[in-house]
Amino acid sequence: MPLAIFDLDNTLIGGDSDYLWGEFLCDEGIITDRESFQKMNDYFYHQYEIGELDIYAWAEFSFKVLSEHSFDKLNQLRKDFMETKIRPIILEKAQNCIDNHKKNGDSVLVITASNTFVTKPIVEMYGIEHLLATEPEFVSGRFTGKVSGIPCFQSGKIDNLMPWLETNNENLIGSYFYSDSHNDLPLLELVDNPVAINGDPILTAAANENGWTNLDWR
């Protein structure tokens, strides 16, 4: 059966999980210099939107707070984050699409540039088993603040996907990929059925030019 691949941020959810995680940590007082943090959070988000994000610089910024706290504390914070920031932006149309693919016997995978720690419970909330995301390095029970492996961003999504396909005996014949972002054009151009979900202007233009499906899940 075909593989249905989903981006996460602004595709399956009505916002960006990494950006919201930063806001949540500021709201909880975990990050004390809110003004400086928010300025950098906004900067990296803008760089992502225009396709110029330095993924390693972003990871160093984003993963720093993970390295400063125990996993138990982070896990409790994540539970609160899921309830306050994520549950309100779960999209019914996204869930319906996932459920339809499952009914058809398709394999379902989320592939996202956001980090595994933040995204794993979101993916589980949608009932999806498989996740490829940017991996924060985890050593001796703590995050180190570094990236493990290749970040799952732009062409890095393909770099992570190809070994996953081999390991899981999957292929891209008849495959789907749902995304909102022009950063995902390398993978969108690789699958058989690319779908733009509330696409940014660059992606929407590419979808219209190539005759791809455009959907509104908001």
Are the beta carbons of 149 and 135 closer than 8 angstroms? yes
Given a cut of 90, whether residue 176 has pLDDT beyond it is yes
40: helix, strand or coil: helix
The reported pTM is 0.95
Cβ count near 135 (within 10 Å): 18
The DSSP string of 89-121 is GB-HHHHHHHHHHHHTT-EEEEEEEEEHHHHHH
At 29, give phi and psi (nearest 5°): 80, 10
Given a cut of 90, whether residue 1 has pLDDT beyond it is no
CA pair distance 12, 81, nearest whole angstrom:
17
For the stretch 65-113, pLDDT in tens is 999 999 999 999 999 999 999 999 999 999 999 999 999 999 999 999 9
Q: Please give the pLDDT value at position 14.
A: 98
For the stretch 134-154, pLDDT in tens is 999 999 999 999 999 999 999
User: Could you give the domains of the chain?
Assistant: 1-218 (3.40.50.1000)
Percentage of the residues of the chain whose pLDDT score is greater than 90: 97
Active-site annotation holds for 27: no
- The length of the chain is 218
Active-site annotation holds for 9: yes
Catalytic member of 7, 16, 180, 184: 7
131 dihedral zone (left: phi>0; alpha: psi -120 to 50; beta):
beta
